[in-house]
Amino acid sequence: MTPHTNVPPARDLVVVGNGMVGQRLVEAVRERDPERRWRITVLGEESRAAYDRVALTSYLTGTTADELGLVPEGCYDEHCVLHLGDAAQDIDRVARTVTTASGRTVGYDALVLATGSVPFVPPVPGAGADGCFVYRTLDDLDKIRERAGRVGSGVVVGGGLLGLEAANALHSLGADTTVVEFAPRLMPAQVDQGGGEVLRRRIEGLGLTVRVATATERLEPLDDGGLRMVFADGDVLDTGMVVFSAGIRPRDGLARAAGLELGPRGGVAVDSGCRTSDPAVWAVGECAVVDGSGYGLVAPGYEMAEVVADRLLGGSATFGESDTSTKLKLLGVDVASFGDAHAATPDALEVVYADPVGGVYKKLVVTDDASQLLGGVLVGDASAYAALRTMVGEPLTDTPEQLLTAGPQVSGLDDAAQVCSCQNVTAGTIRAAIHDEACHDVAAVKGCTRAGTTCGSCVPLIKTLLAQSGAAASNALCEHFELSRAELFDVVRATGLRTFSEIIARHGSGRGCDICKPAVASILASLGTGHILDGEQATLQDTNDRFLANIQRNGTYSVVPRVPGGELTPEALITIGEVARDFGLYSKITGGQRIDLFGARVEQLPAIWRRLVDAGLESGHAYGKALRTVKSCVGSTWCRYGVQDSTSLAIMLETRYRGLRAPHKIKAGVSGCARECAEARSKDVGVIATENGWNLYVGGNGGFRPRHADLFASDLTTDRLVVLVDRLLMFYVRTADRLQRTAAWLEALGDEHGDGLAYLHRVLVDDDLTICADLDAAVQRHVGSYTDEWAAVLDDEEKLKRFVSFVNAPGTPDPSIRFVTERGQIRPTAADDDTAAPVTVAGPTLEVVRR
């Protein structure tokens, strides 16, 4: 007998579209429906699952498609099915079915249209020619990237939000970029004339060309594959590509064909519950029109998704007036608008602060008695945006002048105030996460509340709420030092202290620990205070640094000689082979163009080093938090695609920075052309050759969170490139946190200064901190004082004494170290090797011959 249950049989929900809003709807339904009363089928037209379109431009500056993905693990299962690459083509409202491009027919009890929008391409003759693109999907960006790699210039038609995003993308790809806008100012829907002028000057100052009040009459193909733009005023402009990013239009074709009611200017008409003229059909996001209004932002779309999810589960939620505030950073320029930005409210007053020299424009719109904030525009400095946005419609606690100059005070921010409009998260929700869920940093708050995970504009306010709650994370190095690593570095550099004992006595407490001791050791090494095994400094080192080799799982060590640029003479290669053979070592070519020799016992290390040093090889610092390698292709020397000599540059850079101690390991790469065979953009410092010089990228790395480096400067001469890399590495050494890779360091600079890349440019190029001369001199001191750490040990009797397995029996090898043979080489024994015949490798004489 079937047991009685009050749970009704599952019904079928079909969602057409798997963009940001469609995905949010699916998650909202699943969160509210633990009993799985709805079986969900999602039909996505793109081949990729939902991804973050707000951060679309970051795809061209290193963020991968996977990193942009929005689908949480476990979202889709037997109760919730996602079909990708199969667009819905027909809706039968009578039979309640949807038919797809592949012929699949899916029945529904409820249907939600989340079809989004399509880019608006002005009806310009020639707009469909080869070399014309739209800016909407990852596939669009792949096409734009490919074209930009072949042409040197591009034009973006449209100077609004989307247009400037596209211009940012072209600029990041190294193209000579022009923005063409029909309106008399940039971002006409968001900023006023004053803000538009400041924005224009800031963008032109970065090397872009801006043409406003300009209409494009036609496009003509050129013989070289480019395009000629003919403007209504008679001017012409030749370019390699054109990107149309002039706005969007609701994608309502399915609804139109199905006979659903549409809005007056297109879009699917819905009521306050987001239901269409058919009671079984809803619409959300950019395709929906509520009371005649469409919304091209993600926050209103998310709100619609929550409304429909509530309605599907029996609720009565309604869509109200959504927050249409926007904040973004375009080409390093902060731009924000919120509330009644254009002073449309009767009798509204405008209070303006303008600094043309500094490129800052701020405007607040207030009621006629200045008692209430209605809206505002911020250009050049939008640090107060998150707090000001929450104050719209509320009584002012400060004068407009104080708000513009000193910024708002958020200590009294009401719990109901919306901090994150994208995810509809209030100040109260964040405070509860801090106090009840022990969220003590921004990352934890993001994970708990979703605040700050979409556009990120509310992150500064989240930090303020954390600080006010007393939950801001300490930047102290450890319990023995209240200073951060960067602060401690400056103290040691300024005071000239050269031992850990002196440093902790003056600026710390206690005896130190395994956190602060290696950190101080790294600082001292970075400042060139002698060999890392000299005196007290030797006791501070981690195991690898203590023996200048990488310890492996069985207690043996690996030896990695430096091979700059991967270039190796036959004689050096023969020596490495002979050492591996004579000492019975496992040899492997690494991903960094070096040869790694595994299985050396500690007492063998000096003998191995002697053979390598005598052959002209030196330590590769594979054991240290230091420069590891500068990977290279063969470049123009051998490769038919190469445009610059990447090998010579890689060798020069690796030789210049060898031995440079840092908060974490540093890897670099130099590619001889845009084909990127050296994988330079996955490195902390990446260099890619161009026809005109070198492009410099910063902040990439592999590891747990792979990240492509960001473009920092384009078409550099070799001399200028070296200067910028000098400053970059030395600034990183001085300011990064302990064990912080350059990717995380760059991200932290962004959290602190708004845009990490722009801040680096101000420091390292514009010299805003007036430290460039000091950074240059520090690198020169490093280059002039470099010595090979292996050779220095071989020349020092005291240092050699530490390289023994047993202090009381210096010549005795450790009998616990055993190997088995696999594929003709040794490897450490493992738990499942009990039946294998172990191999003990003795190697040649252990006596070190000193010369």
Contact 243, 155 (CB under 8 A): yes
Give residue 844's pLDDT: 45
Parallel, antiparallel or unpaired: strands 360-366 and 349-355: antiparallel
Whole-angstrom CA distances from 369 to 350, 365, 395, 399, 405 are: 11, 11, 11, 11, 20
SS3 688: strand
What whole-number distance in Å separates Cα of residue 383 and Cα of residue 297? 21
d(CA 718, CA 103): 58
Instruction: Using DSSP, state whether 65 is helix, strand or coil.
Output: helix
Q: What is the pLDDT of residue 642?
A: 93
- Tell me if 458 is assigned to a ligand binding site: no
pLDDT at 540: 84
Indicate the angle between helix axes 772-785 and 646-657, nearest 10 degrees.
90
- Domains in the chain (CATH in brackets) are 11-118+250-312 (3.50.50.60), 121-246 (3.50.50.60), 410-471 (1.10.10.1100), 553-619+788-794+813-844 (3.90.480.10), 627-785 (3.30.413.10)
DSSP letters of 739-787?
T--HHHHHHHHHHHHS-HHHHHHHHHTS-TTS-HHHHHHHHHHHHHH--
Does the annotation flag 639 for ligand binding? yes
Instruction: Calculate the alpha carbon distances from 487 to 173, 477, 769 in Å.
Output: 36, 9, 16
pLDDT of residue 836: 47
Of 134, 138, 137, 125, which is closest to residue 157 (Cα–Cα)? 134
How far the first Cα of the chain sits from its last, in Å, is 92
Q: Give me the phi and psi of 415, to 5 degrees please.
A: -60, -25
Buried b / exposed e along 812-824 (16+ C-beta atoms within 10 A): ebeeebbbeeeee
Q: Which of 427, 468, 472, 471 is nearest to 449 (CA)?
A: 427
Q: Which of 350, 355, 346, 418 is nearest to 385 (CA)?
A: 418
Q: Are 851 and 816 contacting, i.e. CB atoms less than 8 angstroms apart?
A: no
Dig out the tokens for 452 from the structure: 């700050």
pTM (predicted TM-score): 0.56
Low-confidence ranges of the chain (pLDDT < 70): 1-8, 61-62, 321-325, 327-332, 406-413, 455-457, 470-474, 703-705, 806-812, 830-851
DSSP state of 4: P
Amino acid in the structure at residue 546: R
What Å distances lie between residue 535 and 13, 350, 493, 786, CA to CA? Answer: 72, 68, 19, 19
Closest CA relative to residue 817, chosen from 551, 446, 465: 551
Handedness of CA 544, 546, 548, 549 (dihedral sign): negative
Q: Is 673 annotated for ligand binding?
A: yes
> Is the dihedral angle over the CA atoms 266, 270, 274, 277 positive or is it negative?
negative
C-alpha–C-alpha distance, residues 811 and 801, integer Å: 11
Angle (deg, nearest 10), helices 718-735 and 756-764: 110
Name residue, tokens 């084909």: 675
pLDDT at 832 (0 to 100): 57
